[in-house]
Amino acid sequence: MKKSIRLVFLLSTLFMPFVLCTADDAAPFYNVKNYGAIGDGKNLDSKAINAAIVAASKAGGGTVYLPAGNYFSGSIHLKSDITLYLEQGAAIIAAPVSAENGCDEEEESISTQYQDLGHSHWKNSLIWGYDIQNVSIIGAGWINGKNLYKDWVPGSKQDANKAISLYRCRNVILRDVTIIHGGWFAILATGVDNLTIDNLKIDTNRDGIDIDCCRNVRVSNLFVNSPYDDGICLKSTFALGYARATENVTITNCQVSGYDEGTLLDGTFMRSKNSEYGNHPTGRIKFGTESNGGFKNISISNCVFDYCRGIALETVDGGILEDVTITNITMRDIVNDPIFLRLGARMRGPQGVPIGKLRRIKLSNILVDNADPAYSCTIAGLPGNPIEDIHLSNIRIYYKGGGTKEQAEREVPENADHYPEPGMFGTAPVYGLFVRHAKDIKISDVEFNTSEPDARPGYLFDDVDGIDMRNVTVQRTENSNAVVLKNVANFSIIQSTGIEDQKIKKIKEKELK
């Protein structure tokens, strides 16, 4: 009996494509060609795709199947208990944005005051779902947003279109598909709980994936190339009409990069010298900028950064950013701060909200090669609002070097209410790590090196209470310092190459050679 069951299961798996192609309305599979789709890349197929989704929904759910072909499409409306399955060789191609092509306009939103336009609307997208559950987009096919957002024209209702947009959803799976040119966001998930994103390739013009106000999220095995915006970005906007944390998130086994758009997928990996960002592509993994609800209980591991910006953890709108581990990261050709932690006071949100918190962060096992000489790693809080409990361990960073004594002497502005971004303080006065307005900083087994001599110190601590350094290595010139202390309390350094072991209870200013 058991052998018969296994045989039936094996046969059903082998012949699934045949079942999908020949299914009728009574079966759990809904072939879009049975609803009028042509798949020639010329005729509009979104009406047929939506009709198949409606039929499956009315039957209680099922798989809407797109066999190989090019499906020219306006907006596709996801519903609960639906799987959208794109077979290998199938592509959903965004039609030019217009009502005639069935492209939906932006909806009335609960809140538009405290976040960017793109985070205020969802229905003006190629594929969208609103208040749905138990939904999947899977398969080895492609989503091509070639006619989505290209150049922002302020005031246009179609500026913010996205490839996939989800709002207040639950139990969502996105797996195996490829997205090219995803518009404003290739994937925007707002208020989505129990979200799995796995084995996607995204090669796009703006943000790859924005995970906003979401809980219980698993992101794994992705390639995300986004030269002009962030690769994988966690946010916590006010788009739900209230502040909600993005929490319980894992990001693992992913690669982010800033190659020219399209060159990840075609295998050329081009790095144009005429980049719109002055040969400073974005890519990267970031928390923020929108940060009303904060970020909690997050793990990032086993990720590769190539020709892009580094890790950025930012909270500037009153949210609490806490309990984050980041480990086993390699970076190559990083164009600004490899590590950037910022607690700011932009406070784009309801009045009366206090400045947020950034605390309990652990970064370990990080290797960086060829980091930009104008930047260092940065941990920057605010006067009276320190960043707290940060542990850096087993980190090796190789900077290009070439910094000057004049750069080492420059005063760094506070920029408390500025947009948070590496580089917001100007050229760094150190080449390694700049820490200001912080508390309880632990640094162990950390090594900074430069390819060219650099006259700046390796470390600068300013207004920091509690620094524990051990086994640190700082490459320096004959006239440069290893560590500079300003307004520091409870400092300790031991077992570090070329630096005398010492403890300092309190000091206004001191230089360690």
Per-residue pLDDT reduced to its tens digit, 30-86:
999 999 999 999 999 999 999 999 999 999 999 999 999 999 999 999 999 999 999
Per-residue pLDDT, 150: 63
Q: Could you tell me the CA-to-CA distances from 354 to 258, 292, 317, 344 in Å, in that order? A: 36, 11, 9, 11
Nearest-CA neighbor of 121 among 156, 167, 88? 167
Residue 488 CB neighbours (<10 A): 23
What is the separation of C-alpha 106 from the centre of its chain, rounded to a whole number of angstroms? 24
Alpha-carbon torsion, ordered 335, 337, 338, 344, to 10 deg? -140
The confidence band for 113, taking pLDDT boundaries of 50, 70 and 90, is confident
Per-residue pLDDT, 21: 44
Query: Cα dihedral sign for 38, 39, 41, 47?
Result: positive
The confidence band for 160, taking pLDDT boundaries of 50, 70 and 90, is low
The confidence band for 276, taking pLDDT boundaries of 50, 70 and 90, is low
488, 507 Cβ separation under 8 angstroms: yes
Q: What is the 3-state secondary structure (H, E, C) of 368-426?
A: EEEECCCCCEEEECECCECEEEEEEEEEEEEEEECCCHHHHCCCCCCCCCCCCCCCCCC
Predicted confidence (pLDDT) at residue 148 exceeds the cutoff of 60: yes
Predicted confidence (pLDDT) at residue 18 exceeds the cutoff of 80: no
Residue 251: Cβ-neighbour burial (10 angstroms; 0-12, 13-18, 19+): buried
How do the residues of the chain divide into helix, strand and coil, expressed in percent and rounded to 5?
10, 50, 45
Q: How far apart are CA 62 and CA 27, in angstroms?
A: 8
216, 238 Cβ separation under 8 angstroms: no
The confidence band for 14, taking pLDDT boundaries of 50, 70 and 90, is very low
356-376 burial, b for 16+ CB within 10 Å, e for fewer? Answer: bbbbbbbbbbbebbbbbbbbb
Can you give the pTM of this predicted structure?
A: 0.93
The confidence band for 429, taking pLDDT boundaries of 50, 70 and 90, is very high
